[in-house]
Amino acid sequence: MEKDSIQAVLLTESQIAERVEQLGKQISQDYQGNDLVLVGILKGAICFFSDLIRQVEIPVNIDFMAVSSYGSASQTSGVVKILKDLDMPIEGRHVLIVEDIVDTGLTLNYLKTNLLSRNPASLKVVALLDKPDRRQIDIQADYLGFSIPDHFVVGYGIDYAEQYRSLPYVAILDPAAYQSQAKE
């Protein structure tokens, strides 16, 4: 069973809700009067994105991108692929990337470079989680939910091999859960 592989709850549902509300208020203040597009990065950011847009108190447009650098592995491959691109043009618009986690920084760096080439008025990032100990590229989120230690985490949209996304909290996955799958 899914929950049997959870080593520990890192962030509770209420901790996440409180921080998402704070981020929504800050983003609303900072972008007041601007044409803002929130770009959710699928699939991991879906819970964060859904909760965040309900806390942003200004009109926004939304769009999604899907990228992959993991596949079903627990370590990034370092190769980023766009699986779904934006549906709307972002030229001249203020864009806020909504990301679940900044880990090595490779995916976020790729996304920022790609989106900046489309000439937005501004481009910033809001990330729920940051693992600074894993960083390979010097890149930071402009808005951050939580900085966490270097553990493999799941829940609140974040998966391992398409499992655990529906957990309402962020948890540390027992290494035995993904090490045993890697051997198969």
Residue 164: pLDDT over 80: yes
Q: Which two tokens stand for residue 92?
A: 């001249």
How far apart are alpha carbons 62 and 38 in whole angstroms? Answer: 5
Identify the residue whose tokens are 């894993």.
134
Which domains are delineated in the chain? 2-183 (3.40.50.2020)
Q: Token digits for 139?
A: 């890149």
pLDDT for res 79: 77
Residue 153's pLDDT is 96
Query: Residue 29 and residue 20: Cα distance in Å, rounded?
Result: 14
Dihedral in degrees, nearest 10, Cα atoms 63, 76, 172, 19: -30
Where does residue 142 rank: exposed (0-12), middle (13-18), buried (19+ CB within 10 A)? Answer: middle
What's the pLDDT band for 184 if we cut at 50, 70, 90? Answer: very low
Active site residues: 103
Confidence label for 76 from pLDDT (cuts 50, 70 and 90): low
pLDDT at 2: 63
Q: For residue 149, what is the enclosing H or E element?
A: none
Q: Are 10 and 153 in contact (CB under 8 A)?
A: yes
- pTM score above 0.85: yes
Tell whether the torsion through CA atoms of 76, 80, 86 and 91 is positive or negative: positive
Write the pLDDT tens digit of every residue in 6-25.
Answer: 999 999 999 999 999 999 99
Mean pLDDT along residues 156-184: 84
User: Is residue 161's pLDDT more than 50?
Assistant: yes
Token duo for residue 71:
């596949």
Q: Which of 140, 104, 127, 148 is nearest to 44 (CA)?
A: 127
- CB < 8 Å & 24+ apart, contacts of 130-134: 130/101, 130/102, 131/101, 131/102, 131/103, 134/103, 134/104
